[in-house]
A and B are shown apart, each in its own frame.
Chain A
Amino acid sequence: MNWDLLTVALLAGVANWAFRALPIISRTDRQPAGGWLERFLSATGPAAIATLLVASLLPLVTPDPGKLLAVVIGIVAVLVTYYRAGSVVLATLAGAFAHGAAVWLLG
């Protein structure tokens, strides 16, 4: 076992646990209703998901029209499937399948 790796993993892992668990354990969300902190926190969720969506799509943006079209096809498949079926699972699978198929067809 590489001990440098283990040390880095332990430090990062403990910090991850603290970031994820301590704000919940200390219930930092329990602030007076209607305050600025409530509006800030209720916007955090959608903000985080929108951010992560953009961050995961950015590496797929390429000047290659074929590859870009495959990304657009994947996105459209998610949108159409979600609005037709209303299911996160089906929309995710449809998007991945459509993108993979487009990459195969467009070469």
Chain B
Amino acid sequence: MTGTRPLFLAGLTASLPIVMGYFPIAFSFGVTATRAEFTVLEATALSLIIYAGASQFLALALLSSGAPVLVSAFTLIAMNLRHVLYGPALMRQAGREASTRYAWAWAFGLTDEVFGQALGSLARGQRFSEPYMFGLGLGAYASWVLGTLAGAVAGGGVLDGWPSLSAGLGFMLPALFLALLLSILNRRQLPVTAVSGAVTVIGTLMFSGTTGILLGILAGALAGLVRK
């Protein structure tokens, strides 16, 4: 197991942009949860257990509107179905010999952004390693949970007096996705990304944001089938 610690620390360092992107969003989730009259413990439990940003905001809306438990749960589950595609895509890039011995533990942290960052590092020539995945995932997870806790403790209305700060923090995730896309983009993948983007817009406008995401990923992956 030589070299485990540096790889873990490298993963932790690589999680820094995600940490900076997650904390403010999780903070606003905590604020929103307390505004919806959930307690600090309940808000933090949602982040600890679900750990999926957009669906947590949806959970607040569903639960506070009195939606039935099973309907709420299945809505959230459908929303996160896209994550099924991430593991195989990552392991395809990692190679057949890559170890997945501890995947049962680190894979829970494979969120949209962790997946993007891991894929980007592999595309830039880094070797896949499980300690790196632990470091990357742990930094992001800690940031998400602590951000929620901080937001819930601070309570509603805390960012109301700081619109530019709030806007800057809110732009962190689009900026991160764009930077990640630039880091993995090549000529062969251009049609894939163009198809994904266009279908996401159409799916979102015609159906919903969740449907747009699911259709966008599927359409882009299908576009990969027809390219040379």
B151 interface residue, CB < 8 Å from A?
no
What B residues does A4 contact at CB under 8 A? 63, 69, 72
Q: Are A89 and B200 in contact (CB under 8 A)?
A: no
Q: How many residues of B contact A (CB 8 A)?
A: 97
Distance (whole angstroms) from the CB of A58 to the closest CB of chain B: 6
What A residues does B21 contact at CB under 8 A? 92
Interface string of B160-200 (1 = CB under 8 A from A): 00011101110111111111111111000100111111011
Q: How many residues of A contact B (CB 8 A)?
A: 72
What B residues does A65 contact at CB under 8 A? none
What A residues does B85 contact at CB under 8 A? 41, 44, 48
Q: Are A16 and B73 in contact (CB under 8 A)?
A: no
Which one of B3-11, B106-114, B138-146 is at the interface? B106-114
Given contacts A48-B116, A89-B16, whether A12 and B59 have CB atoms under 8 Å apart is yes
Interface string of A36-68 (1 = CB under 8 A from B): 101111111111111111111110100000000
30 of the cross-chain contacts (CB-CB < 8 Å) are: A1-B39, A1-B41, A1-B45, A8-B72, A20-B86, A20-B110, A21-B108, A25-B104, A27-B100, A30-B96, A39-B224, A39-B225, A40-B224, A43-B220, A46-B181, A47-B192, A47-B217, A47-B219, A48-B112, A50-B194, A51-B197, A51-B199, A55-B216, A88-B120, A92-B21, A92-B175, A93-B175, A100-B164, A100-B168, A103-B164
Footprint of A on B, CB under 8 Å? 16-17, 20-21, 38-39, 41-42, 45-46, 49-52, 55, 59, 62-63, 69, 72-73, 76-77, 80-93, 96, 100, 103-104, 107-110, 112, 115-117, 119-120, 163-165, 167-169, 171-185, 189, 192-197, 199-201, 204, 209, 212-213, 216-225, 227
